[in-house]
Amino acid sequence: MNLDTLSVDLIQNKLRTKFIGQEIKYFEEIGSTNDIAKELARKGASEGLLVIAERQIGGRGRRGRSWHSPSGGIWLSLILRPKLVPQEVPKLTFVAAIAVARVIRSLDLNAEIKWPNDILIDCKKKVCGILCETEVNLGYVVVGIGVNANFDKDYLPEELQETATTLKSELNKKISRNHFVAHLLNEFEDSYLTFIEKGFSPILDVWKEFSCILGENVLVYQDDTKFFGKAIDVDQSGALILKLKNGSTTKIFSGDVSIRRQK
């Protein structure tokens, strides 16, 4: 077997989880792992089921954006069934972000989190995106995680090559994706159980340690509105607190952030 081939057995051999990844559905090619996970969740699939694919042809980001998902990446979705009110669901993005950042940091790369759902290397180049989707009335959340792993960044469209990177391009070698996925599932379950048992505070503490936007001047696009200010905090609801030029503060619940460093 090619050392880089995704293998359900090899992933599961390295798991020390109670429920995350205990059932895995693997696909060579798929539209979007999130779509399949949602379909399975609607049919009653158990908490912890993982959908993983070698490549996606309809990978999605937020707000209908596309997510490029060539072979060699890590494209996966987890089904969760937490008892949360809808406003709390975005906190699972924080849970996933700290798990991904920890695993990438274990490869000696400087993984940092950009609010709300990006993992960047050196706070510059996006290596991972997270997409949480829910149908609260059906009692599930799907957490989709995409990591640019074992392909060179020139496999991404040209317009992304300045702002994106891959683990292979950073390390100049391939990693073991099976090991990475198992490590990620182990970390994810630890963080998820901490969140369920102890609440959001311990998650937010780690998240802030890994965050690269606090204290920076940022531009935030929220739908058609643009805010410029200093990112001073993320509160217990997961909202970004911006200090605007006029000295007032505002809370942002969703949006896209770009960092404006003074030269």
CA distance 52 to 6: 9
Peptide bond before residue 116 is cis, with ω within 30 degrees of 0: yes
How near is the Cβ of 253 to ligand BT5 at its closest, in Å? 15
Handedness of CA 195, 197, 200, 204 (dihedral sign): negative
How near is the Cβ of 152 to ligand BT5 at its closest, in Å? 12
- Binding pattern to ligand BT5, positions 115-134, x when CB under 6 A? --xx-------x--xxx---
Closer residue to ligand BT5, CB minimum distance, 72 or 229:
72
Binding residue for ligand BT5, selected from 12, 148, 150, 178, defined by CB under 6 A: 148
How near is the Cβ of 119 to ligand BT5 at its closest, in Å? 9
CA distance 79 to 134: 10
Interacting residues with ligand BT5 between 59 and 88 (CB under 6 A): 59-62, 65, 67-69, 75-77
Residue 255 binds ligand BT5, judged by CB under 6 A: no
Beta partners for residue 142, in sequence order:
79, 133
How near is the Cβ of 248 to ligand BT5 at its closest, in Å? 27
Closest by Cα among 99, 148, 94, 133 to 117? 94
- The amino acid at residue 204 is L
Instruction: Check residue 72 and report its DSSP letter.
Output: T
How near is the Cβ of 235 to ligand BT5 at its closest, in Å? 21
Rounded to 5 degrees, what are φ and ψ at 224? -95, 5
Residues of this chain that interact with ligand BT5 (CB under 6 A) are 32-34, 56, 59-62, 65, 67-69, 75-77, 117-118, 126, 129-131, 144-146, 148, 156, 160, 164
